[in-house]
Chain A
Amino acid sequence: MYHYLLTFSKRGDLRFISHLDLLRTFVRSARRAGIPIACSKGYNPQPKFVFAAPLAVGIEGENEYLDLYLKEPWETDKISESLNMQLPAGLKVHKIRQVDLNRPPLSATVGAALYKVLFSPVSPDLEQALHDIISADTVLLERKGKKDKKTLNIRPFIYLLSMKKLEGEKGVLFMLLATGNKGGTRPQEIMSLLPLGDSGGRTKIKIFRKDLFVMYNNRFKTPEGLSPSEYLE
């Protein structure tokens, strides 16, 4: 088996497809491209496609990652070119490199995601609310499961919140949030804690996931070695 790490983006209207939809779309695109996908063993073999972290419906992803396993070695350029020929507009592979087969997929190590949230209008109370969250020890949030509700402290999952006002009532908020198998929170959850809008009108929100980060030597870095601060505008 041969192991590759792909960086791709999910843009525009394709933000409306779910994580499972994305998986199906990638698998079928790879099949159309004739890429020799490796499959898991067992009664019901599944293609070995491992996304680093599911992206919620409605969010655009700028640097998303996929661990891909093939039965035969293919040149990296050939993989990305033939995939890009088949992927629908909105999905695009930007980078690809071969990695050690024994290296765990990124989904096992990913620890944080950086989100950029564009919104308007900006509530006058927003700055204070952000400050309150940052300075608090606990931030309680109610999560609805399939059957029950759970209250949990999401403060440990918030690494950074930084807001700037833009022209024309608009604001931009960067959030570095924990994600991955040690727990995390999502930008919509943070937004639900904030005062939005002014006179009860609908706030327009657009969310982008800029990149995903892994902890190296106590610092968050993208798989390409960038640190979160390089994204803050």
Chain B
Amino acid sequence: MSNHYLGDLLERVRKPARYLGKEVNAVFKNPGQVKVHLALAFPDLYEVGMSHLGLKILYALANRLPDVYAERVFAPGADMEEILRGENLPLFSLESNTALQNFDLVGFSLQYELSYTAVLNMLDLGGIPLYSSERKEADPFILGGGPTALNPEPLAPFFDFFVLGDGEEVLPEILREYASWKDKGRGKREDFLEIIARIPGIYVPGFYEPVYSQGNFSNMRPLKENVPLCIEKRTVVDLENAFYPESFVVPYMEVVHDRATLELFRGCSRGCRFCQAGFTYRPVRERSLNKLKELAGAIIDNTGYEELSLSSLSSSDYSQIEKLIDELQDQFQQQDVSLSLPSLRADVFALKLADKVQRNRTGGVTFAPEAGSQRLRNVINKQVTEDEILEAAAQAVKAGRSHIKLYFMIGLPTETEEDLREIAGLARKISGLRRTVKSKRRPFKVIISASTFVPKPHTPFQWEPQLDLKLIKERQELLRQSLRGVKGVDFTWHEAGMSFLEAVFARGDRRLAPVLERAFRMGSRLDAWSDSFDFSLWEEAFKKEGIEPEYYAYFHPETSAPLPWDHISTGVSKHFLISEYKKALEEKNTGDCRKNGCAGCGLENCPIQVGEAGCTTIS
């Protein structure tokens, strides 16, 4: 696409900066002069995708290789899509405006289930056949990685292969294999897939066929010899020396997280049982204080960002977090850089850290107790007590903070209405602090935000059904009612239909693929955006394909039953997941393995403890 033409397109859309590219630190190469032309595709809008750390790491990593050109592609907004379809133009990359179909490889970032139809839309707009089996020699290879690739089955027929685990480990190997395959004059698509199927962490779904019996998944049958029966996710063992970008593309438009990101560590050892990231990013791997300071300095110098986010699954757990904050603040004194800490625990220590990093201590604080009662927090292994929450809240009130936001989940395993009333009880106690604690300033708000529990694969709750959709709505209502009359409380909740769909696809199998295609054809696009989410469209799509979504959302198998993602191993053993599941039902905690000793999750490459992992069932 010529520059003139791009200009003409951009004249006609509402947010042209989404498609403009040309940002500071974007990489320019001549696509004709590299061996591998890779599209890093994010199935959501620019402002969402550009907030994602993984994409930035892979972009910088791939572009360091002289033979490789990695470009970005995002899902188009509705106005851009209309023009592209109306004028028969292909979806194009941001850097060189190359049509998606002209890339060698197109890698999708799979972050959430509700982005699946956006993937199909991007393939379609990019001029690429949706199904792997329909792609010809000239078509690119389509790969996917990220959290939901750990159960990729609903997407299996659309992808040529999946990358499991830390992308910076595997991507260079894929690029190298592709370059040498191209050097040898390319061959059949299948030949390349056979080569890369031998790379650990790569899953070629076309080489396997699911077998069902009596309506249930029974096993995964390999269609070729020599393909692995168990595909283990890859792990960067030495995060300290792993690649991390020293510069990020600086967007023109405001993106969701418009700041520099410093990843302190990967993994989390707390073991909250609902949390997929907590089980699939093990073990905890930290970067050293000096390394972080070095990276932070370079990133700020190269981007000019005014804010640096200290990012991790649970940043306050970084072993030297206070020291790190102090030293970074010293380092940045001249440059006016503020620090931010996402995802704080609900305790006084976390609040102390928040106070430390925020110049403005009158804004809000957010905590995530997840469940209202101690009993239920034991079930999910969220180790925070009501006293701790109240103490932190009291301090926040004292400091004059404008609001305290608390995240909860509705529909957690074993939840009763009593647990929900305890959420209201907690809200009441926090609200009551206005009488007992002297606040520096104004009255404060308590915001109760309730999402819906979604059972995720590779967690101890992978055998649990989601709570019935009707009951979820009833319980949202119950919670709303019981919060009524509590002074200064706001209640926000998630669209239950979205969580239902998320549950269906999270634990889905390959039989769901036609539903995705159908929903895409019927117009489903950016479903993660509540304003474009249309549940009735999905109901229709399921009906037309003769599939009952309830089967998947409410799936409640024995722990001995085969699961559609059993051939994929995250390194955590199934025995451990089962024992955690049992302990959950017995309302027993499992300690943080970094503090209380190894919990025996089975990881092979754990610096704390060596175990034995692998897949438990495959025939």
Please give the residue numbers on chain A whose beta carbons come within 8 Å of chain B beta carbons, in ascending order.
Answer: 13-14, 16-18, 20-21, 24-25, 27-32, 37, 39, 43-45, 57-58, 86, 88-90
CB<8 Å pairs between A and B, sample of 5: A21-B252, A43-B360, A43-B362, A44-B360, A90-B22
Within B1-58, which residues are at the interface with A (CB < 8 Å)?
A: 3, 6-7, 10-11, 16-17, 20, 22-24
The complex places the Cα of A21 from the Cα of B301 at a distance, in Å, of 20
CB proximity of B611 to chain A, nearest CB, Å: 46
The complex places the Cα of A32 from the Cα of B250 at a distance, in Å, of 12
The complex places the Cα of A25 from the Cα of B252 at a distance, in Å, of 6
The complex places the Cα of A44 from the Cα of B361 at a distance, in Å, of 11
Task: Given contact pairs A13-B20, A88-B23, enumerate 17 new A-B contacts (beta carbons under 8 Å).
Answer: A13-B22, A14-B22, A16-B16, A21-B17, A21-B252, A24-B252, A28-B303, A28-B306, A31-B304, A31-B306, A32-B302, A32-B303, A43-B359, A43-B360, A44-B360, A86-B24, A90-B22
Q: Evaluate contact between B336 and A13: CB separation under 8 angstroms.
A: no
The complex places the Cα of A27 from the Cα of B258 at a distance, in Å, of 14
B416 on the A face (CB < 8 A): no
The complex places the Cα of A43 from the Cα of B360 at a distance, in Å, of 6
The complex places the Cα of A90 from the Cα of B26 at a distance, in Å, of 15
- Sorted nearest first, the 4 A-B pairs with minimum C-beta distance are A28-B304, A31-B304, A16-B16, A32-B304
The complex places the Cα of A32 from the Cα of B306 at a distance, in Å, of 10
CB proximity of B275 to chain A, nearest CB, Å: 33
- Chain B 445-469: CB-based contact to A (< 8 A → 1; otherwise 0): 0000000000000000000000000
B244 on the A face (CB < 8 A): no
Interface residue from B11, B253, B306 paired with A17 (Cβ < 8 Å)? B253
The complex places the Cα of A28 from the Cα of B304 at a distance, in Å, of 4
Nearest B-chain residue to A16, judged by Cβ? B16
Interface residue from A14, A27, A88 paired with B306 (Cβ < 8 Å)? A27
Nearest B-chain residue to A45, judged by Cβ? B336
Q: Evaluate contact between B20 and A16: CB separation under 8 angstroms.
A: yes
CB proximity of B542 to chain A, nearest CB, Å: 39
B576 on the A face (CB < 8 A): no
Q: Evaluate contact between B20 and A30: CB separation under 8 angstroms.
A: no
The complex places the Cα of A124 from the Cα of B359 at a distance, in Å, of 62
Q: Evaluate contact between B306 and A29: CB separation under 8 angstroms.
A: no
The complex places the Cα of A28 from the Cα of B307 at a distance, in Å, of 11
The complex places the Cα of A44 from the Cα of B254 at a distance, in Å, of 18
Nearest A-chain residue to B12, judged by Cβ? A202
Q: Evaluate contact between A57 and B16: CB separation under 8 angstroms.
A: yes
Nearest A-chain residue to B8, judged by Cβ? A204
Residues of A within 8 A of B359 (CB): 43
Please give the residue numbers on chain B whose beta carbons come within 8 Å of chain A beta carbons, in ascending order.
Answer: 3, 6-7, 10-11, 16-17, 20, 22-24, 250, 252-254, 258, 301-306, 335-336, 359-360, 362
CB proximity of B546 to chain A, nearest CB, Å: 46
Residues of B within 8 A of A37 (CB): 336
CB proximity of A40 to chain B, nearest CB, Å: 12
Q: Evaluate contact between B24 and A88: CB separation under 8 angstroms.
A: yes
The complex places the Cα of A25 from the Cα of B6 at a distance, in Å, of 22
Residues of A within 8 A of B23 (CB): 88
Interface residue from A28, A57, A58 paired with B24 (Cβ < 8 Å)? A28
The complex places the Cα of A29 from the Cα of B305 at a distance, in Å, of 9
Residues of B within 8 A of A43 (CB): 359-360, 362
Q: Evaluate contact between B254 and A20: CB separation under 8 angstroms.
A: yes
Q: Evaluate contact between A13 and B3: CB separation under 8 angstroms.
A: yes
Q: Evaluate contact between B253 and A21: CB separation under 8 angstroms.
A: yes
Nearest A-chain residue to B361, judged by Cβ? A43
CB proximity of B357 to chain A, nearest CB, Å: 14
Nearest B-chain residue to A205, judged by Cβ? B11
Q: Evaluate contact between B24 and A29: CB separation under 8 angstroms.
A: yes
Residues of A within 8 A of B17 (CB): 16-18, 21
Nearest A-chain residue to B3, judged by Cβ? A13
CB proximity of A164 to chain B, nearest CB, Å: 23
The complex places the Cα of A162 from the Cα of B616 at a distance, in Å, of 80
Known: A13-B3, A17-B253, A24-B254. A86 touches B22 (CB 8 A): no
Residues of A within 8 A of B22 (CB): 13-14, 88-90
The complex places the Cα of A18 from the Cα of B252 at a distance, in Å, of 8
The complex places the Cα of A168 from the Cα of B180 at a distance, in Å, of 53
Residues of B within 8 A of A14 (CB): 22
Known: A16-B20, A44-B360. A86 touches B10 (CB 8 A): no
The complex places the Cα of A72 from the Cα of B261 at a distance, in Å, of 29
The complex places the Cα of A14 from the Cα of B16 at a distance, in Å, of 10
CB proximity of A48 to chain B, nearest CB, Å: 12
The complex places the Cα of A14 from the Cα of B7 at a distance, in Å, of 10
Q: Evaluate contact between A17 and B335: CB separation under 8 angstroms.
A: no
The complex places the Cα of A39 from the Cα of B359 at a distance, in Å, of 14
Q: Evaluate contact between B10 and A28: CB separation under 8 angstroms.
A: no
The complex places the Cα of A88 from the Cα of B303 at a distance, in Å, of 12
Residues of B within 8 A of A13 (CB): 3, 6-7, 10, 20, 22
The complex places the Cα of A30 from the Cα of B305 at a distance, in Å, of 10
CB proximity of A63 to chain B, nearest CB, Å: 21
The complex places the Cα of A72 from the Cα of B64 at a distance, in Å, of 38
Nearest B-chain residue to A44, judged by Cβ? B360
Q: Evaluate contact between B20 and A31: CB separation under 8 angstroms.
A: no
The complex places the Cα of A21 from the Cα of B15 at a distance, in Å, of 11
The complex places the Cα of A43 from the Cα of B258 at a distance, in Å, of 19
Residues of B within 8 A of A30 (CB): 304
CB proximity of B207 to chain A, nearest CB, Å: 44
Residues of A within 8 A of B20 (CB): 13, 16-17
Residues of B within 8 A of A45 (CB): 336
Nearest B-chain residue to A87, judged by Cβ? B24
The complex places the Cα of A28 from the Cα of B300 at a distance, in Å, of 10
Residues of A within 8 A of B250 (CB): 25, 28
The complex places the Cα of A17 from the Cα of B46 at a distance, in Å, of 14
Q: Evaluate contact between B301 and A32: CB separation under 8 angstroms.
A: yes
The complex places the Cα of A27 from the Cα of B304 at a distance, in Å, of 8
Residues of B within 8 A of A16 (CB): 10, 16-17, 20
The complex places the Cα of A14 from the Cα of B301 at a distance, in Å, of 23
CB proximity of A136 to chain B, nearest CB, Å: 30
- Most chain B Cβ neighbours within 10 Å, of A30, A32, A57: A32
Q: Evaluate contact between B253 and A86: CB separation under 8 angstroms.
A: no
The complex places the Cα of A89 from the Cα of B22 at a distance, in Å, of 8
The complex places the Cα of A134 from the Cα of B588 at a distance, in Å, of 82
The complex places the Cα of A57 from the Cα of B306 at a distance, in Å, of 25
CB proximity of B491 to chain A, nearest CB, Å: 26
The complex places the Cα of A24 from the Cα of B17 at a distance, in Å, of 13
CB proximity of B153 to chain A, nearest CB, Å: 41
Nearest B-chain residue to A58, judged by Cβ? B11
Residues of B within 8 A of A39 (CB): 336
CB proximity of A92 to chain B, nearest CB, Å: 14
Residues of A within 8 A of B7 (CB): 13
The complex places the Cα of A207 from the Cα of B17 at a distance, in Å, of 18
Residues of B within 8 A of A28 (CB): 24, 250, 303-306
Nearest B-chain residue to A37, judged by Cβ? B336
Nearest A-chain residue to B20, judged by Cβ? A16
Residues of B within 8 A of A29 (CB): 24, 304
The complex places the Cα of A30 from the Cα of B3 at a distance, in Å, of 28
Nearest B-chain residue to A32, judged by Cβ? B304
The complex places the Cα of A32 from the Cα of B17 at a distance, in Å, of 22
The complex places the Cα of A145 from the Cα of B6 at a distance, in Å, of 30
Nearest A-chain residue to B24, judged by Cβ? A88
